[in-house]
Amino acid sequence: MPESPTESAHPLPPGHVLPPAVAIGSLSIVLAAGLQSLGILNRINAAVARSLSGDHDLPKSVPAWSVWLIAILFAFGISFAILSVPGIWRRLVLWLTAMVLVGGWAPVLALAARDPEIGAVLVAAGWSGVCALGYASRHRMACDDFSNFPTDETR
C-alpha cells in the first residue's frame, strides 16, 4: 500500500529535471551545429533576410559567437523551464513564447541593418522545446499535481 498520495501507483514513470534538460539542450545544439555544417542554416538565414529586407543587402552581420551563445542559452533555458513548470498548458505557453521571441529577433536585427541570423537559435530552441514537451508528457514530473492522476484503486 502506498505511504502517501504522491507515492501511489502511477501509470507514468517518475521524471527528472537536470539530466534530461542537459541532454535535451546538448542534443539541440548538436543538431543546430550539424545543420550549420551542412549549410542548411545558411539557407534559412538567407530566406529570412530576403523576406525582411527585400532586394536590399544588409551591410552588417552579427558575430558568430553571439549567435551560438544565444542558441545555447535558449536550448538549455527552454528545456530547464519546461521540465520545471507544472501543467502541459504552461509548458506549451513557455515554448511558444520562446519561439515568438526568437522570431521577433529577426525584424529587430533587420531594423538595425544586420543580417537576421536566427537559424541556429530557431532550430535549437524549437527542438529543445519539442523534446522537453515530449519528455514531460511521458513522465510524472515532480512539480505536477499528483492528486488528479488515476491510481490503481480508482481504475
Block residue for cell numbers 551563445: 69
Q: In whole angstroms, what is the distance from residue 119 CA to residue 110 CA? A: 14
Question: Residue 138, exposed/middle/buried by CB under 10 A (0-12, 13-18, 19+)?
Answer: exposed
Which pTM does this prediction carry? 0.81
Q: In whole angstroms, what is the distance from residue 136 CA to residue 113 CA? A: 40
What is the tens place of the pLDDT at every residue in 18-73? Answer: 999 999 999 999 999 999 999 999 999 888 888 887 767 777 888 889 999 999 99
Task: Give the residue from 147, 130, 110 showing the smallest Cα distance to 25.
Answer: 130
